[in-house]
Amino acid sequence: MPSVQAPGLAAGSRPAGSRINRWLGHSATKPVGVALALLPLAWLVWAAFTDQLGANPAEALIRSLGDWTIRFLVLVLAITPLRTVTGWVALARLRRMVGLFVFFYACLHLLAYAWFDMEFSVPAVVDDVIKRPFILVGFLGWLLLLVLAATSFNRAIRAMGAQRWQLLHRAVYAIAGLAVLHFFWMRSGKNDFTEVAVYAGLFSALLGWRLWRWLSKPRAA
C-alpha cells in the first residue's frame, strides 16, 4: 500500500506515519484484529467454565457482554477522529470490522439476557421490554444495530446510494445515546454512575469533535 501523509503533518512525522499505514494496510491486520476482538469473549468463556465470574455468574456474563458492546462502540466512533488527527488513513479499512463487532457483542449480550434471565421465553422477554424502560431502550439500540449491520456491505451501499447510506449510518450516534441511557438506568438501582459518566463523556467528546468539524467546513456563498 503506498504511503500517505495527512495534510498538515510535519515532514519529520512522515516515516512513522507511513510505516503505521503500511502495517495497518497489511493483509494480516484484519485477521489479527479479529483475533484481538474475540479475546474478551474467550476470557468470558474461560471464566465461566472455571468459576471466575463471582457469586452471580449469569449476571456477570450479561453485564460484561454489555460492557464490551459499549467499548467497541466507543472504538468505532474513535476511528475517524484518530485517523484524521494522526494521518493513519489505513484505519478506515478497520472501521466496518469494528462496527460488526459492536453488533456481535450486542447480540451476545441480548442472547445471554434471553437465556439466563428469561430462559428463552418470548412472552417473558416481550413483557420485560414493555415493563422496564431500560430493557426497551437497550432493545431499540439493538434493532438499530441490526439495521446498520445488515446494510454495512458494499452491495447495500450501491443499492442505497452513498448519500442515503451515510445518512442511515449516522444512526450510530442515536445508538450511542441509547447505550448510555440503558447503562444509566441499569446502574440507577445501585446508585453507581461512575462508568456511565465516563462513557457519556467519551461519546460527548467524539460527537462534539464531529460537530466542530462540520461547523468548521467552509460554506458556499
What does the pLDDT look like over 201-211, one tens digit per residue? 999 999 999 99
Domain ranges for the chain: 11-216
Burial of 162 (0-12, 13-18, 19+ CB in 10 A): exposed
pLDDT at 14: 53
Q: Cell 497489511 identifies what position?
A: 26
Cα–Cα distance, 145 to 108 (Å, whole number): 13
Residue 83 CA to its chain's centroid (Å): 16
The answer to whether residue 195 scores a pLDDT higher than 70 is yes
pTM: 0.88
- Residues 67-115 have pLDDT tens digits of 999 999 999 999 999 999 999 999 999 999 999 999 999 999 999 999 9
- Residues 149-192 have pLDDT tens digits of 999 999 999 999 999 999 999 999 999 999 999 999 998 877 88
Structure confidence at residue 215 as a pLDDT band (50, 70, 90)? confident
Q: Cell 450479561 identifies what position?
A: 62
Determine the length of the chain: 221
